[in-house]
Amino acid sequence: MDDLTLRYTLKYLAIVVGEEYRASTEVQTDTVGGETRSYLPPDKVFDYGFDPLQGGFKASSAEPFEVFDQWVEVLPTDQMVAVEVKYDPKTGMQV
């Protein structure tokens, strides 16, 4: 691999990115529950949704635009954030 030039590498990258872009603009059609839906591959999750637990975790795939699973959880925190508040000048209570 020592004979790879910067020019060759950039051309190869341009070809790969161009192929992925062309694939992302090809309309896909699926029939779900008797209803035919058309979508672009990157928009599949927005049209169909996905179950984060179905099928487990598979981040690497040979297929472009493959939906991968990720479980995200928001945990409570004890961090404080400053916010602007107003007080009633007579009672001193927050308005």
At 17-76, the pLDDT tens digits run: 999 999 989 998 888 778 888 888 877 776 666 655 666 555 677 777 776 666 666 666
pLDDT recorded at residue 62: 76
- DSSP character at residue 34: T
Phi/psi at 78 (nearest 5 deg)? Answer: -100, 15
Phi/psi at 87 (nearest 5 deg)? Answer: -120, 145
Please give the model's pTM, rounded to 2 decimal places: 0.46
Nearest CA-CA partner of 27 in 45, 48, 44: 44
- The C-alpha angle with vertex 40 and arms to 9 and 70, in degrees rounded to 5, equals 80
